[in-house]
Amino acid sequence: MNNKIKFENVPFNIPYIFEKDFKKNFSELRKKDKYSSVGYFSSKCEEWLKKNINAKSVLLTNSCTSALEMCALLLNLKKDDEVIMPSFTFVSTANAFVLRGAKPVFVDIDNDNLNIDSNEIEKAITKKTKAIVVVHYAGISCDIKRIKTIAKKNKIFLIEDAAHSILSYYQKKPLGSFGDLSTFSFHDTKNIHCGEGGALIINNKSLIEKSKIIRDKGTNRDKFIKNVVKKYTWVDVGSSYGLSEINACFLYSQLVNSKRIITERVRIFKNYYKIFSNFKDFQLPKLSSKKKINGHIFYIIVKNNRKSFMDFLKKNGIQTTFHYVPLHNSPAGKKYAKGKNLKNTEKLAKSLVRLPIFYDKKYFGKDYFNKINRLVSIYLKNINK
């Protein structure tokens, strides 16, 4: 196809930095002269998250992967314990539990939002099931209320891998506030970032004290800092999961601006949505007034030939990507999924395309969306000839 429209290259993602706020925070950090984890800015970030996520307790971590590993340690998972999760997710969702010897039980996703299918969860529960891990894909809530009821009824833990879903809501309640435990990511590909970082949300009160021990290398250092014990020592298993104060100081400048980031991403999402819903060749995420979104990912399901569509956009200066390789078909995951046939996961993962979405007004003006509209029309005219 040679119907090229002249166009400035639009990358898939550019991480934004609120540089002025960061510099101000950094000079404050210089005065404090303490850069390791569990300090002034970590507390500021934790307080901010506690308030905005409506969480019982929050610990900053050096990644979402670390926060998920903490979940597996906190639940004391052992060999042959089963953890129900979607196959359509990032590797860390499974790996954190596999590291403890637990077995991931992969469940299919629904066609509407690519989230774990709550109808399939109950069928997958056995005597060995210890937890359900949900992912709110693209920042759009899964059927979290129903899944919470299922977890309660079966006395198993609920974990939200909320890596995509900071400041998204289900019936006005923030995602991350439903699970016994929830995790966030501040990787620079996510809505709010600090290079690499994460947070563990602990809503189940019985797990709060132990979470601090696990973060602090298995010691009771937290009690020492609060003057409860005179000397700190090794009291349980743990590792080094805290976030450096340098990252926390950066993260705080992003968190206080997070509403601006999300408003802009949602605006971009809605503009794409309006355009693509005019063409019957694409399937879009199903939106609902119950589910307030955060514009983390804008994806479409391309009904035929994803590759030629992505190549066409690339030739015209628009970078797109796709994910995930379903875990139940991956080299490390397939041994847990012998003979498993997850129909929606396989079908949707093959045809998903993600479009550029990031906080930067320069790229996403009226011209951009007009051009996207024209490009898509040209593309479809050509393939449907």
Ligand X SMILES: *Cc1c(COP(=O)(O)O)cnc(C)c1O
Determine if 90 is a binding residue for ligand X (CB under 6 A).
yes
> What contacts 192, CB < 8 A, 6 or more positions away?
166, 186, 251, 254, 255, 258, 261
For residues 137 and 22, the answer to whether their CB atoms sit within 8 Å is no
**Binding string to ligand X for residues 26 to 65, with x set by CB under 6 A, is what?**
-------------------------------------xxx
Which of the ranges 87-95, 203-211, 246-254, 348-356 carries the binding residues for ligand X, by CB under 6 A?
87-95
Shortest distance, CB of residue 196 to ligand X, whole angstroms? 6
Which of the ranges 33-41, 85-93, 343-351, 356-364 carries the binding residues for ligand X, by CB under 6 A?
85-93
CA–CA dist 91, 109 (Å, integer): 16
In the 8-state DSSP scheme, what is residue 133? E
In the 8-state DSSP scheme, what is residue 137? G
In the block, which residue shows the tokens 């637990």?
Answer: 102
Among 135, 192, 302, 337, binds ligand X (CB under 6 A): 135
H or E element, residue 130: strand 129-135
Determine if 168 is a binding residue for ligand X (CB under 6 A).
no
Shortest distance, CB of residue 156 to ligand X, whole angstroms? 20
Determine if 163 is a binding residue for ligand X (CB under 6 A).
yes
Residue 186 or 364: the one with the smaller Cβ distance to ligand X is: 186
Residue 90 or 170: the one with the smaller Cβ distance to ligand X is: 90
Determine the size of the site formed for ligand X (CB under 6 A): 14
Determine if 187 is a binding residue for ligand X (CB under 6 A).
yes
**Residues 190 to 209: which contact ligand X by CB under 6 A?**
198
Determine if 165 is a binding residue for ligand X (CB under 6 A).
no
CA–CA dist 296, 162 (Å, integer): 11
Shortest distance, CB of residue 321 to ligand X, whole angstroms? 13
What residue ranges bind ligand X (CB under 6 A)?
A: 63-65, 89-90, 92-93, 135, 161, 163-164, 185, 187, 198
